[in-house]
């Protein structure tokens, strides 16, 4: 009976989310309803709910999660600084005679902004507003243009420093400790944000390189889809000017990411440095005003409130789900699968890929990962590798038609001349690249685990 209640809880929440109810209140509200039903039917012990205040206190005192609002502030401030606009214009002008030069510029600038902001929706919308009209005016195919922008915008999922990786590292660390306790290790180790950043760095750069190779090859094979700029003259843009424009974001990335990887600063301290740096870049660019600062603070507050309300709702859901024995049921199911850990991993990746159509990364991180993470890590899966695989898998899901979040973001700022079918066609090659990189990480986990082992030996 308790197992049926756990299954019913999951189904009910899925139906409520599909109906459009707010995620945080759906998680908490449906969980409380099922807890009440469980108490009345004798299948749920209300003592589980006594742990909820402690969980909220744990969230409030979690030093890692303090970095989230600061990283959000940094990303929103950089979005307002117009750096992406200036960089894209200068880089595309410098490469105007190169086939596919504008597409290459979009990928490079998208990667830099992804590493600087880590906010996928903001990056896709910003790149769409800046680059899509230019690409269409230069004769680029609508499909190629939209696909390139969507792919570049989702790089914020995997390229550190990333907000989603910060949250994922915190959840995976707790799940890893639970897995070790199940295995009888009562002095469990943890994983840090820096370790996950290090693990994601090589796959992120590999993905950017694969995107650039595809764009360059497509421009050579099908030049009519990505013609070079016919206006070869015009204002000269020097490499020096480009370096000056790029130096600000690059210094910011190096300061934030380097200080975390080197252990000089905690994620929260590094995020604070990044926030101040973003304000300085906006000030130098002439885009920092009282109104801008007010808008940035307002957006940061809204995003942060949404994240933490989801986290509180997810905490209540996980308590109730565990009270019904749902975690043990999932552990038994995955352990009994033929093929062992390989089949379990493939099944979990497939389920999370499908959930990515209807749930945001934050919801999946706080709801699904705490349930499946301890089970998979107890089966011997490396937590850093698991985290990077989850991030890359969901990045692929967010690109996949017809429900990918990135497609919706771009559709919202696309001109009517670009049909939705063109956006769908454009992202298919990039989805194939994502799957190829996922396969490479599955075959060679060292692509993920090597750098953390070098930076954090032992």
Residue in 62, 127, 120, 38 with CA at minimum distance from that of residue 312: 62
CA-CA distances (angstroms) from residue 387 to 128, 144, 165, 198, 369?
A: 29, 30, 8, 11, 9
Range ranked top by mean pLDDT from 124-128, 166-170, 248-252: 166-170
* Cβ contacts of 414-422, under 8 Å, gap ≥ 24: 414/128, 414/132, 414/146, 415/132, 415/133, 415/136, 417/136, 417/142, 418/132, 418/136, 418/142, 418/145, 418/146, 419/142, 422/141, 422/142, 422/143, 422/146
Q: Alpha-carbon distance 91 to 237, whole Å?
A: 8
pLDDT of residue 445: 94
Q: Hey, what are 6's tokens?
A: 């756990």
Q: Percentage of the chain with pLDDT > 90?
A: 20
Question: Token digits for 431?
Answer: 């989805």
- Dig out the tokens for 153 from the structure: 């915008």
Quick one: average pLDDT of 371-381?
A: 89
Write out pLDDT tens, residues 239-256: 666 677 777 777 887 888
Tens digits of per-residue pLDDT, 22-53? 777 888 899 999 999 998 988 888 888 888 88
Could you give the CA distance from residue 208 to residue 203 in angstroms, rounded to a whole number?
9
Angle at 309 between CA 295 and CA 395, to 5 degrees: 80
Is the confidence at residue 88, as pLDDT, over 70?
yes
Question: What is the share, in percent, of the chain residues with pLDDT greater than 70?
Answer: 94
For residue 234, is pLDDT > 60? no
Residues with Cβ within 8 Å of residue 84, at least 6 apart in sequence = 109, 112, 113, 126, 127, 130
Contact between 411 and 177 (Cβ < 8 Å): no
Token reading at 202: 């090589």
| Cα-based distances in Å from 286 to 278, 366, 436 | 12, 38, 42
Average pLDDT of the chain to the nearest whole number: 84
C-alpha distances out from residue 161 to 429, 442, 454, Å: 26, 23, 19
Where residue 446 falls among pLDDT bands split at 50, 70, 90?
Answer: very high
Give CA–CA dist 162/175, Å, rounded.
Answer: 20
Q: What is the pLDDT of residues 401-437, one digit of tens each?
A: 877 778 877 887 788 778 888 888 999 999 999 999 9
**CA distances in angstroms from 17 to 37, 397, 412, listed in the order given:** 20, 18, 22
Q: Residues with Cβ < 8 Å from 299, sequence gap 6 or more? A: 72, 76
Q: How far apart are CA 310 and CA 107, in angstroms?
A: 32
Peptide bond into 332 cis (omega under 30): no
- H/E element holding 66? none
What pTM does this model have? 0.85
Angle at 345 between CA 339 and CA 350, to 5 degrees: 115
């Amino acid at each position: 009976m308790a197992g049926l209640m756990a299954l019913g809880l999951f189904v009910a929440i899925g139906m409520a989310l599909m109906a459009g109810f707010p995620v945080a209140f759906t998680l908490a509200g449906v969980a409380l309803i099922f807890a009440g039903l469980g108490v009345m039917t004798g299948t749920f012990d209300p003592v589980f709910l006594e742990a909820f205040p402690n969980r909220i206190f744990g969230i409030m005192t979690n030093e890692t999660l303090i970095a989230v609002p600061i990283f959000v502030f940094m990303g929103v401030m950089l979005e307002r600084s117009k750096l992406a606009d200036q960089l894209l214009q200068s880089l595309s002008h410098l490469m105007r005679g190169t086939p596919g030069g504008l597409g290459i510029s979009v990928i490079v600038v998208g990667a830099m902004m992804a590493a600087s902001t880590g906010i996928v929706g903001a990056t896709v919308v910003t790149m769409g507003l800046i680059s899509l009209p230019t690409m269409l005016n230069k004769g680029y195919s609508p499909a190629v243009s939209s696909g390139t922008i969507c792919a570049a915008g989702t790089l914020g999922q995997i390229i550190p420093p990333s907000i989603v990786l910060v949250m994922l590292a915190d959840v995976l660390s707790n799940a890893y400790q639970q897995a070790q306790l199940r295995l009888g290790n009562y002095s469990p180790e943890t994983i840090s944000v820096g370790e996950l950043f290090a693990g994601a760095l090589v796959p992120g750069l590999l993905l950017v390189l694969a995107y650039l190779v595809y764009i360059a090859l497509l421009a050579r094979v099908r030049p009519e889809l990505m013609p070079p700029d016919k206006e070869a003259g015009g204002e000269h843009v020097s490499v020096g000017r480009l370096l000056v424009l790029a130096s600000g974001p690059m210094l910011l990335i190096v300061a934030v990411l380097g200080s975390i990887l080197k252990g000089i600063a905690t994620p929260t301290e590094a995020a604070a440095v990044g926030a101040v740096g973003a304000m300085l870049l906006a000030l130098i660019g002439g885009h920092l005003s009282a109104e801008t600062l007010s808008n940035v603070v307002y957006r940061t507050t809204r995003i942060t409130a949404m994240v933490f309300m989801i986290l509180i709702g997810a905490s209540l859901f996980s308590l109730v789900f565990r009270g019904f024995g749902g975690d043990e049921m999932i552990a038994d199911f995955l352990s009994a699968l033929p093929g062992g850990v390989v089949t379990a991993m493939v099944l979990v990746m497939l389920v999370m890929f499908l959930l990515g159509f209807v749930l945001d990364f934050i919801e999946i991180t706080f709801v699904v990962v705490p349930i499946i993470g301890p089970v998979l890590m107890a089966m011997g899966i490396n937590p850093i590798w698991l985290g990077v695989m989850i991030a890359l898998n969901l990045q692929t899901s967010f690109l996949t038609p017809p429900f990918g979040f990135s497609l919706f973001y771009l559709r919202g700022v696309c001109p009517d001349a670009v049909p939705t079918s063109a956006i769908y066609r454009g992202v298919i090659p990039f989805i194939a690249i994502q799957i190829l990189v996922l396969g490479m990480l599955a075959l060679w986990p060292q692509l993920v685990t090597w750098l953390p082992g070098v930076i954090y030996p032992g």
